Amino acid sequence: MAGHLSFRTTAVIVIVYAGAMAYLEAAVVVYLQLALGLRVGAIFPLLSASEAGNLVAIEAGREAATLVMIATVGLLIGRTRLERLAWSAVIFGVWDIGYYAWLHVFSGWPPTLDTPDILFLLPVPWVGPIWSPVAVSAALVGVGLDAASAMRSGRRLEVARWHWAAGIGGGLLVVLSYTLDAGRLIDGGLPGPFLWPIFAVGMLVALGAALDALWSARRVAPSSTA
């Protein structure tokens, strides 16, 4: 189907799909927290292992299922491995931003972008202020759309080894900024100050590599067979 749709039409469909995912997940989170007698956004301190029971495993499974859904659509739409990765990045970014937007519409939470949240649970809890995953997601959407557009127009996107190394290394720094407080959280403590300098360096390294690859693609004329 992707071969018969223009880039713009494909992008609209992908964004609508990711927005629908965000709506569904936000609605489920609100339902579950209210059904459990919790206030939406009442996250810290984390429940102990005895209190949480099977909820941690269920939540981890939900996170994994969401990633499978995102990757599946990327695989179906993209024509190459790199384009599939680009579309998956777009879906992830729109879904993540939309999730927080819908949560705020449904419950008023988060009250501000500085509000801390649990971002993932595996292998340890990831915690950061909401502006940080929103920034990551905005970068994923922008880079993903630009990369997919370049490849759909026939431009060759050359991703060198140093691009991959910088992207992965920067991403690991971002993850590190989220997980350095994991031990305290697991022990029932509250999150400390967010280590935004580590986050900022990771974002700059990864985004710089992505933009360099995209800039190189812009200087290549589209192939006549695209």
* CA distances to 139, 177, 214 from 200, in Å: 13, 9, 21
pLDDT tens for the chain, residues 1 to 226: 445 788 999 999 999 999 999 999 999 989 888 887 777 777 877 766 555 566 778 888 888 899 999 999 999 999 999 999 999 999 999 999 999 999 999 999 999 999 999 999 888 899 999 999 999 999 999 999 999 999 988 888 889 999 999 999 999 999 999 999 898 888 888 889 999 999 999 999 999 999 999 988 766 556 544 4
Q: What is the pLDDT of residue 224?
A: 45
Q: What is the pLDDT of residue 41?
A: 75
In the block, tokens 């494909």 appear at 10
Q: What is the pLDDT of residue 18?
A: 97
Q: What is the pLDDT of residue 38?
A: 75
- Cα within 13 Å of Cα(14), Cβ side: 32
Residue pair 162/213 in contact (Cβ under 8 Å)? The answer is no
Tens of pLDDT, residues 68-98:
999 999 999 999 999 999 999 999 999 999 9
Distance of CA 36 to the CA centre of its chain: 27
Sort 66 into a burial class: Cβ within 10 Å, 0-12 / 13-18 / 19+.
Answer: middle
Pairwise CA distance, residues 224 & 178, whole Å: 45
Tens of pLDDT, residues 178-210:
999 898 888 888 889 999 999 999 999 999 999
Q: What is the pLDDT of residue 226?
A: 41
Q: What is the pLDDT of residue 49?
A: 54
For residue 120, give the H/E element and its range. Answer: strand 116-120
Pairwise CA distance, residues 191 & 142, whole Å: 30
Q: What is the pLDDT of residue 189?
A: 87
Q: What is the pLDDT of residue 5?
A: 82
Sort 212 into a burial class: Cβ within 10 Å, 0-12 / 13-18 / 19+.
Answer: middle
Q: What is the pLDDT of residue 165?
A: 97
SS3 126: strand
